[in-house]
A and B are shown apart, each in its own frame.
Chain A
Amino acid sequence: MADITNTGADFVPTQARPAPASVRPGPMTWLKENLFNTWYNTLFTLGGIYLLVQTIPGLIDWFFASALWEAAPADACKEIAGACWAFVYEKWRFILFGTYPFEQQWRPGTAVVLFIGMVVISCMKPFWNKSLLVIWPVGLAVTWILLSGGLFGLDHVPNNLWGGLPITLMLAVIGAIVAFPVSIALALGRRSNMPIIKAFCVGYIELIRGVPLITVLFMASVMFPLFMPEGITIDKLLRAQVAIIMFMAAYLAEVVRGGLQAIPKGQYEAADAMGLSYWQAMVFIILPQALKITIPPQVNTFIGMFKDTSLVLIVGIFDLMFTMRVAINDLEWRAYYLEGMVFVAILYFIFCYSMSKYSQWLEGELHRGHKRL
């Protein structure tokens, strides 16, 4: 260092090195390295391209080009080679809202928008505070009043007339909200030192996981009333909701348990050594970490349950899937079941894909700062 200041010569900077060549390979290199690097990969690539060429144009043609995109009577579709979206024009209100009185369908429509709004709000960081404790009870009450009526001049609509999207959303989302804390209790109970609690939780989880959802639904709706005292009836929809909660809780409990097991023993020991009680250690230390690492499997379970709610049809509840099947029972439109399936599939996909994307975002969000990046 001293030499530099003592030579008296002007400081001449050396030329900066050129920026490093881009490490990203060009598209041709990428193709060569990934799709044509061996003879069999080349074969698979060409085979794949052939299949895509064979199918994609046909699908696009069916879906868009040759399709009938406007409201029309069923006969009009007979001359059409592509999809008959006239079916969806004709039936979308029934598919979405089932047998809900036609002129009143703005009510379930508003309820669905409100409900989705609540879920979206709850997913956003600025709302992760006590405001949710107000939003949800109020929102659920408004949803209920909208659907059920009997108040504020709304006609009463009994819930055996409800159907379609509101049912699917409600069963799944309310199911998840209630099942989540239950699942945590079950997971903790399963690891408890108290033999009775542990035995109960193990028994419950294994029993429910050991039988199909249909069985639980069926038991809840057919057998449960048999055991109830004379004169007491529990609403059919409520029974299905309880069955879904019970089922979801058992599955989520195992997910949460996996998370609990992944927390290093040292975390429990540090909590113990500082004198935190069991519940303090759980609430402040163990659960926040365990729940965070189990977000992907939790969302996975929820997506599965979201689609499984379609099984409630066996106890006579008209969810989204079932209203679609009723819609295609219409003799006139019978031929267009594929269009109906695609329509419902798109709806399911939108919901499930959003959940999946959200879980990815959430994981990253909760990770930020905790780890060296």
Chain B
Amino acid sequence: MSATAPAETAASTMGSHDVITMSGVNKWYGDFHVLKDINLAVKSGERIVVCGPSGSGKSTLIRCINRLEEHQEGAINVDGIELTDNIKNIDAVRAEVGMVFQHFNLFPHLSVLDNCTLAPIWVKKQPKAEAEATAMKYLERVRIAEQAPKYPGQLSGGQQQRVAIARALCMTPKIMLFDEPTSALDPEMVKEVLDTMVDLAKEGMTMLCVTHEMGFAKAVADRVIFMDQGEIVEQNEPNAFFDNPQNPRTQEFLNQIL
């Protein structure tokens, strides 16, 4: 499956209820207003690509969804759970939301397999054998099962990122967040990671993905969101978004990256 294949019919896997709702979300770093009145609803099974210039708040936006960052105003609801200071709620949300980072953030002192089983064993209290079976299943799915006993430092960037995806999947999340998963990779490794993500999208995973890979966006996204200076400036389904951007800021951005 190539990242540039035509889009699946979005409606086929998309549910009707919202799994993520952000309403009137504002966030500041000191005086700096990083998220400005964000309103966003994500349906179950929906695939969203977030793009925008560097520093526009894309990472901050998706990191608010699993509370790696806290917002100061507005409400964020994930799968019926309101994100507040309540630790129980935060833990409940994190159990439902998997995240893949730009720099993989694998644990270098643990083998690939241990990276994948740590959270299932200690957070979900799965028996070790079961967690390992699940881990092998997902490592198989990202086509890297033969590397299970190795350490992350012995793998290429693309392999590491696929392990990171498998590690997140081992928690059987309902939602996956990706923060520029391919931008730290050498060009020849981008495709293997994107292919893995396309597979995941086809299985109906709810995905929010910060990326500038337009081929990927066209292939799998139901909606592309453009952010600039902390605001959602424009959003549309991918073909209309890329071929016919409405806002001048979007046009300028697309001119730069295409």
Where the two chains meet, the residues of A that have a C-beta atom closer than 8 Å to any C-beta of B are: 264, 266-267, 269-270, 272-277, 280, 284-285, 288-289, 292, 369-372
Complex-state Cα separation, A371 to B153, whole angstroms: 5
For A274, the chain B residues whose CB sits under 8 A away are 94, 98, 118-119, 123, 167-168, 171
Known: A267-B107, A284-B118, A370-B109. A273 touches B66 (CB 8 A): yes
**Interface check B151, CB cutoff 8 A:** yes
Complex-state Cα separation, A269 to B122, whole angstroms: 17
Complex-state Cα separation, A371 to B109, whole angstroms: 9
Are the CB atoms of B108 and A289 closer together than 8 Å?
yes
**Interface check B99, CB cutoff 8 A:** yes
A373 shortest CB reach to chain B, Å: 9
Which residue of B is nearest A286, CB measured? B107
For A371, the chain B residues whose CB sits under 8 A away are 108, 151, 153
Complex-state Cα separation, A288 to B111, whole angstroms: 13
Complex-state Cα separation, A289 to B105, whole angstroms: 13
Complex-state Cα separation, A284 to B154, whole angstroms: 20
Are the CB atoms of B153 and A372 closer together than 8 Å?
yes
Task: Determine chain A's interface SS by DSSP, over half rule.
Answer: helix
B145 shortest CB reach to chain A, Å: 19
B138 shortest CB reach to chain A, Å: 14
For B68, the chain A residues whose CB sits under 8 A away are 269, 272-273
Complex-state Cα separation, A372 to B153, whole angstroms: 6
Complex-state Cα separation, A372 to B159, whole angstroms: 14
For B167, the chain A residues whose CB sits under 8 A away are 274
Where the two chains meet, the residues of B that have a C-beta atom closer than 8 Å to any C-beta of A are: 66, 68, 91, 94-95, 97-99, 101, 103-110, 118-119, 122-123, 151, 153-154, 167-168, 171
Partner of A269, one of B97, B101, B119, B151: B101
Query: What are 28 sample pairs from A and B whose C-beta atoms fall under 8 A apart?
Result: A264-B105, A266-B101, A267-B105, A269-B105, A270-B99, A270-B106, A270-B107, A273-B94, A273-B97, A273-B168, A274-B119, A274-B167, A274-B171, A275-B91, A275-B94, A275-B95, A276-B122, A276-B123, A277-B91, A280-B123, A284-B107, A284-B122, A289-B107, A289-B109, A369-B151, A369-B154, A370-B151, A372-B153
Complex-state Cα separation, A371 to B110, whole angstroms: 11
Are the CB atoms of B154 and A372 closer together than 8 Å?
yes
Which residue of B is nearest A270, CB measured? B105
Complex-state Cα separation, A289 to B151, whole angstroms: 14
Complex-state Cα separation, A284 to B98, whole angstroms: 19
B162 shortest CB reach to chain A, Å: 15
For A267, the chain B residues whose CB sits under 8 A away are 105, 107
A290 shortest CB reach to chain B, Å: 10
Complex-state Cα separation, A11 to B227, whole angstroms: 65
Complex-state Cα separation, A277 to B66, whole angstroms: 14
Partner of B119, one of A266, A276, A288: A276
For B97, the chain A residues whose CB sits under 8 A away are 273
Complex-state Cα separation, A121 to B180, whole angstroms: 48
Are the CB atoms of B105 and A266 closer together than 8 Å?
yes
Complex-state Cα separation, A274 to B171, whole angstroms: 8
Are the CB atoms of A292 and B109 closer together than 8 Å?
yes
For B66, the chain A residues whose CB sits under 8 A away are 272-273
For A264, the chain B residues whose CB sits under 8 A away are 103, 105
Which residue of A is nearest B118, CB measured? A284
Complex-state Cα separation, A273 to B95, whole angstroms: 8
B155 shortest CB reach to chain A, Å: 9
Complex-state Cα separation, A371 to B118, whole angstroms: 20
